[in-house]
Amino acid sequence: MVVTHYPRILGLKTLAERVIPGNIIVRQRGTRFHLGNYVGIGKDHTLYALKKDCVKFECHKLSARKLVHVEPKEGHEIHPVYLSTAESPKIKTAS
């Protein structure tokens, strides 16, 4: 028997769909999809957009995590707070 749906995902935006801040991207039980750039997470694991533009889904090569990003327009710089840990610049601390 082949299951073609995700039983714990309640709603999902399609690839490259445009969103505005506050739009729900994924409603899920547990964290099947993890948050990426410009994506927030609610206490019920709902992922929502923090910026206006297109949704991008990505599978991490090493950990096989499914990440959800909101890709801003060209020329728009990503704020360091919203960068994923792999892309974030090293912050120097006072010693």
Distances (CA, A) of 11 to 4, 56, 57, 79, 80: 15, 16, 14, 28, 29
Residue 19 lies in a domain: yes
Cα angle 35, 53, 36 (rounded to 5 degrees) comes to 15
pLDDT of 31: 86
The torsion of the CA quartet 78, 79, 81, 85, rounded to 10 degrees, works out to 40
Total of domains in the chain: 1
Task: Supply the CATH number for residue 19's domain.
Answer: 2.40.50.100
Q: Is the confidence at residue 56, as pLDDT, over 50?
A: yes
Q: Is the confidence at residue 95, as pLDDT, over 60?
A: no
How large a percentage of the chain has pLDDT more than 70?
60
Specify the pTM: 0.66
Residue 13 lies in a domain: yes
- Closest-CA residue to 36 (of 3, 72, 79, 83): 83
Residue 3 lies in a domain: no
Q: Is the confidence at residue 5, as pLDDT, over 50?
A: yes
Q: Is the confidence at residue 41, as pLDDT, over 80?
A: yes
pLDDT of 7: 52
Residues 26 and 23: their CA atoms lie apart, in Å, by 9
Domain range enclosing 39: 9-74
